[in-house]
């Protein structure tokens, strides 16, 4: 018998926020981009065809956009940890992988950022 893992994902969620360590970064809003994979057991939702039984990616997206838009972090590392904590606690997700990018932070690169995994891996 094989173990199966279900993932719910959000790709390239773009949010404007105050982020950065330089003085000019504290005065302008910049775009951050999130890719999020979340472990979820989709069997119940598949059987019921009811959003109440699913990990609602729209609700996760809305919560994270509101949080990030109203934040003023210096480091994306701090933002990533707090985003992960919200998803793990508020949406009862056992494991997640978050890629958080800051496009334009290095002129010669498309984007730069971090990739973290938190929680119990399925």
Q: Is 92 a catalytic residue?
A: no
Bridge-based pairing of strands 95-103 and 111-119 is: antiparallel
**What distance in Å separates the CA atoms of residue 97 and residue 36, rounded to the nearest whole number?**
6
In whole angstroms, what separates CA 25 from the centre of its chain? 22
Contact 68, 15 (CB under 8 A): yes
Among the listed residues 43, 92, 102, 110, the single catalytic one is: 102
User: So which residues are the catalytic ones?
Assistant: 102
């Amino acid at each position: 018998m094989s173990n199966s893992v279900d993932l719910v994902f959000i790709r390239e969620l773009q949010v404007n926020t105050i982020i950065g360590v330089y003085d000019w970064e504290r005065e302008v809003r910049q775009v951050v981009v999130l890719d999020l994979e979340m472990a979820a057991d989709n069997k119940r939702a598949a059987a019921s065809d009811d959003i109440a039984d699913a990990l609602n990616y729209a609700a996760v997206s809305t919560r994270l956009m509101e949080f990030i838009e109203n934040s003023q972090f210096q480091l994306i590392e701090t933002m990533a940890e707090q985003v992960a904590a919200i998803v793990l606690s508020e949406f009862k997700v056992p494991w997640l992988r978050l890629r958080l990018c800051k496009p334009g932070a290095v002129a010669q690169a498309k984007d730069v950022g971090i990739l973290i995994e938190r929680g119990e891996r399925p």
